[in-house]
Each structure stands twice: as C-alpha cells, then as structure tokens.
Amino acid sequence: MRFELLAFITAFATTSAQAVVGTAYGYGAGATGGGSAAAVTPSTNEELASLLADDTPRVILLTKTFDFTGKTATGAGCDKKTCSAVSNGGQFYLGDLSCGGSDMTPVSSITYDAAGPDALPVGSNKSILGVGGKGVLKGKGLSIQKNANNVIVQGVEFTTINPQIVWGGDALDLQGGNSKIWIDHNKFSLTGRMFVVSHYEGSAATLSNNEFDGVTTTSAVCNGDHYWTIMMIGKNEKWTLDKNYFHNVSGRAPKLGQDGVNSYFHAINNYFENMNGHAFDAYTGSNSLIEGNAFVAVTQPSTDHAATVSTFVSQGGNACSAAFGRACLTNSVDGGSGKLASGTSTGFISKLGKIDVPNVLDASKVAAHVKGNFGPKNLGAAALAAPTTPATPIEAPTTPSEPATTPEAPVVPNEPAAPAPIAVAPPAGAAKLYAQCGGSGFTGPTSCEAPATCVKMNDWYSQCINSSSKFRRALGRYF
C-alpha cells in the first residue's frame, strides 16, 4: 500500500507541480526558496544554469540527469608517493596548491572534466527540487553565491565531479554570508574535493536527511573512503546537522570551524557508519553541541584536535534545558568505534536559541530512522511512515551523561546582531500553499490560505494543497 501511494505521488509530480516537502528548521529556518512561484522544469544544462543564476524566486524541478561531463581539459599538478593516484587508488592534485613537500611528485599533465572545477552559480530565492529520485547533477556542483539567501535544495543527487582529482570540484559550496539555506534529502558521492563546503564569511544553514556516500576507488587516503566530506570554516558559521547518513567517508565528516574563528554547530541524530577515518574535527572558537548521534564502526568519532576544544560538547547533560527544554541527548558509540571526545564548557548551549529540531530521537532509534529516510529516494518517507515503527536497538550508550557543569563566561557572538529568533513555530494565521497544516505534534496553523485546503495525508502530516487542482481531487481518493 505504501509503495503504491508513493508511486502515485511520484508519477503525478512529474506532470504537475512538485513542492518542497516539510518546512525548514534549525539554523536554516525561514527558507521558503521559490515559494509559490510556478514550477519550471529545465531540459538542457544551459536552461538549468540560467534559471539558477539570478535572484528571481523560482521553483526548479530536476526530473532527469543533467550531465556536464565529457569535455576534458588538462593541467599540471602532482601525485602523492605514499598514496598514489597511479598505483594505490589515491587522488591527483590539480594545480600547485597541494604540491609542496617531499611526498609529492610533479605530474605535467592531468586530464580532468572541464566542467568540474566551476560549479553552477545559484542566486537567492530558489527551490531546487529533485523529482522522484531522478534529479541528478553529474559532473558539476552548485555554488550558492555570496550573500545569496533563501535557497532550498531537496532531493537532488550530486555525483561524478572529477572524483580522481583533488581540486577537481566541490559538490555544493556556499560562498558566504548566506542565510535561510536548507539542504535536505540529497545524495553526495564521487566528488574530487568537498561534498559541502562553506567558506570565508560564514552562513546559516541546515543540512538534514542527506546521504554522504564516500565509496570510491580514488581516495586521498587510499582506503576506499572519500576524505573530503564537509567543511564549515567561515566566520560565525551557524549550522544544524540533523539525521544525515555518513558512510564510507574517512575525514572531515564534518570539519567544524578553524582556530580563532567563532562559529556554532548543532549536530543531532546523525548516523555515522563504516568509516575508516574520522567524523568530527573541531577547532578552537567553534561552539559545537553534538547530541543523539549514533556511531557504528567509525575509527575516530572525533579527532585528537577536537578533544582539545573545550566547547566541543558531546556530553552536555542538563545544559540543553535552557535552550531546548530537555536534557542534551546522549550519543551512542558502538564497540567497533573509537572514542567520542567531550569538552566541558557548556555555557554556549543556553545561547543557542530556538534552533532545536522538530523530531528529536533517542540515539538508539537513530540508525533505523536514518536508514529509512535518507536521500532523494526516501523523500517523503518520514511523513508517510508511522513514527512508532520500532527502531532496531543499537548498543546502549556506555558513558552516562555528566551533570551540567558550572557556568562559564557568556559567549558573545562576534557579529553585531544576534540571529533573529528562528521561527520554529509556524506563524499564526493561515498556512501557505504546500506548507504543513496538521499532524500529530504539529503546533502551527491548521487552516490554509485560499485557494488551498488542508488535506490529511496521515496521522502525522497534513499539507495545504490547491483545492481546485486535479492533484487535490486525486489525493482525496487516496487519503
């Protein structure tokens, strides 16, 4: 029954409007993307590029693979003696940025796909939506332009961006000063450099329900696991990472901040599995709350450097109460994983504001939940599945959460204005077309702006649907 239902919705969506599923939350709250703009479905790479680039509100549906590969270029660079792209399954390094040191051998000509290094520029006010798991960007990523805001990327697969070449391209980069960014239910694989990277000025964003699939034959550390996963190193970064699936990656999953730079991270309910390398890497100045995550077969849940950062907190105890009205969640680390460090400077947590996530899970439920919901193919699954599905129990946490520590000096964010309180609760009044309008535990408006009406999908999710559309009438027969 559930399969038929999804198949029906998918089939319909390709011929009619597809909307953002769910509502942005956490540090990316407030993102509405293209809002209620009429959906457009580009058919060529050029059309897609032109629709993305300006600040006009647009809902852009990706219904196929946009393949940018095929045109090659060559450039000088280097190879690593101890992890060679030629003989050990390593990566080449394009250009001379990484070519210092006795371990590097010059290579006069490296062939790469010309499209990889320059991602598609993305302006403000965009919903970029993969439809039915079919929206694929192959060979080129997306670059959210400096100070662009209000961008939703949902259900899109990023792949094959010069995976054999460091500096061959990033999948998704944020140029900085970006706010209201929601990156949800996407898949990242086979990329030369970072799957997601935010640089320079810092951004406010939520990464949720994404798959970071590091399986590769060309790894910078020659172990079959992609090293360059996520890096947020700008000033005053504010990121929520919720319910993402990290697997077969070996580094920077994620890298939080850089020494001396102030930033905030909330990583909750993520699932880390089969990693020959490290998950969290953190730097002094980053304020990181790491809670309710599950680690299975992860060599290093946190780096030695993260262990030196007092504000890298994975055992927050009661310090979450002031911000979230609940204790911090315990993380779950299985016997096949290394140690997850925790600093004791929890004072920053009370300043996090209303960024908690809508569906807070005990770590014992994270593996099953994430595995049933990650990536483009599971988009909509959470809304349709019963949340009471028993989670497969994973190993109970062995470290009890510690009591709240004594308060430390207040952390003063280095920007002029603290971020406006994030609207976790939807505003009063009628909900907009395609917004949630009901469901167990939902506290927002239950009426919809005309002509939409609130349609119950199941006990946990109701949505504002255009009452005069064929879609609504068809849905009426199903729900």
Ligand X SMILES: *[C@@H]1O[C@H](CO)[C@@H](O)[C@H](O)[C@H]1NC(C)=O
Residue 216 touching ligand X (CB under 6 A)? no
Rounded to whole angstroms, the Cα distance separating 333 from 295 reads: 5
Q: Give the C-alpha distances (Å, rounded to integers) separating 193 from 94, 167, 171, 275.
A: 11, 6, 8, 18
Q: Choose between 214 and 343: whose C-beta lies nearer to ligand X.
A: 214
Residue 107 touching ligand X (CB under 6 A)? no
Report long-range pairs for 395-398 (Cβ below 8 Å, ≥24 apart).
Answer: 395/332, 395/333, 395/334, 395/335, 396/332, 396/364, 397/330, 397/331, 397/332, 397/333, 397/363, 398/333
420, exposed or middle or buried, with CB in 10 Å at 0-12, 13-18, 19+?
exposed
Least distance between ligand X and beta carbon 230 (Å): 18
Least distance between ligand X and beta carbon 224 (Å): 6
Rounded to whole angstroms, the Cα distance separating 157 from 141 reads: 10
Rounded to whole angstroms, the Cα distance separating 203 from 46 reads: 28
State the CB neighbour count (10 A cutoff) for residue 27.
Answer: 28
Least distance between ligand X and beta carbon 207 (Å): 21
Residues 270-299 that bind ligand X (CB under 6 A): 274, 276
Q: Is the separation of the CB atoms in 161 and 141 below 8 Å?
A: yes
Three-class DSSP category at 229: coil
Residues 232-251 that bind ligand X (CB under 6 A): 248
> 112: which 2 tokens?
């790469």
When binding is defined by CB under 6 A, the residue of 125, 244, 453, 462 that contacts ligand X is 125
Taking CB under 6 A as the binding criterion, the range among 39-47, 343-351, 395-403, 462-470 that sits at the site for ligand X is 462-470
Q: Choose between 40 and 76: whose C-beta lies nearer to ligand X.
A: 40
When binding is defined by CB under 6 A, the residue of 149, 164, 258, 453 that contacts ligand X is 149
Taking CB under 6 A as the binding criterion, the range among 96-104, 237-245, 287-295, 464-472 that sits at the site for ligand X is 464-472
When binding is defined by CB under 6 A, the residue of 43, 105, 440, 468 that contacts ligand X is 468
Q: Choose between 69 and 274: whose C-beta lies nearer to ligand X.
A: 274
Q: Choose between 123 and 343: whose C-beta lies nearer to ligand X.
A: 123
When binding is defined by CB under 6 A, the residue of 185, 370, 466, 475 that contacts ligand X is 466
58, exposed or middle or buried, with CB in 10 Å at 0-12, 13-18, 19+?
buried
Taking CB under 6 A as the binding criterion, the range among 109-117, 138-146, 194-202, 461-469 that sits at the site for ligand X is 461-469
Taking CB under 6 A as the binding criterion, the range among 58-66, 361-369, 412-420, 463-471 that sits at the site for ligand X is 463-471
Residue 36 touching ligand X (CB under 6 A)? yes
DSSP letters of 52-109? HHSSS-EEEEE-SEEE----EEEEEEEEETTB-TTTTS--EEESSTT--STTEEEEEE
Residue 357 touching ligand X (CB under 6 A)? no
Q: Choose between 263 and 276: whose C-beta lies nearer to ligand X.
A: 276
Site string (50-89) toward ligand X, x via CB under 6 A: -----x-x--------------------------------
Residue 451 touching ligand X (CB under 6 A)? yes
CA end-to-end distance (rounded Å), the chain: 12
State the CB neighbour count (10 A cutoff) for residue 272.
Answer: 29
Closest Cα partner for 346 from 325, 306, 316, 324?
Answer: 316
Three-class DSSP category at 252: coil
Q: Choose between 55 and 96: whose C-beta lies nearer to ligand X.
A: 55
Least distance between ligand X and beta carbon 435 (Å): 12
Least distance between ligand X and beta carbon 53 (Å): 13
- Indicate the helix (H) or strand (E) that contains 297: strand 294-302
Q: Choose between 277 and 292: whose C-beta lies nearer to ligand X.
A: 277
- CA pseudo-torsion sign 296, 298, 303, 307: positive
- Catalytic positions, written as ranges: 252
Residue 124 touching ligand X (CB under 6 A)? yes
When binding is defined by CB under 6 A, the residue of 6, 49, 83, 215 that contacts ligand X is 215
Least distance between ligand X and beta carbon 416 (Å): 19
Q: Choose between 136 and 298: whose C-beta lies nearer to ligand X.
A: 298
Least distance between ligand X and beta carbon 33 (Å): 10
Rounded to whole angstroms, the Cα distance separating 101 from 98 reads: 9
Amino acid sitting at position 163: P
Residues 381-440 that bind ligand X (CB under 6 A): 433
- CA pseudo-torsion sign 105, 108, 113, 116: positive
- Looking only at the bridges linking them, the beta strands covering 452-458 and 461-466 are antiparallel
Q: Choose between 198 and 223: whose C-beta lies nearer to ligand X.
A: 223
Q: For residues 309-319, b (16+ Cβ closer than 10 Å) or e, as one string?
A: bebbbbbbbbb
Taking CB under 6 A as the binding criterion, the range among 87-95, 280-288, 317-325, 466-474 that sits at the site for ligand X is 466-474
Binding site residues, ligand X, CB under 6 A: 36, 55, 57, 124-125, 149, 215, 224, 248, 274, 276, 433, 451, 466, 468-469
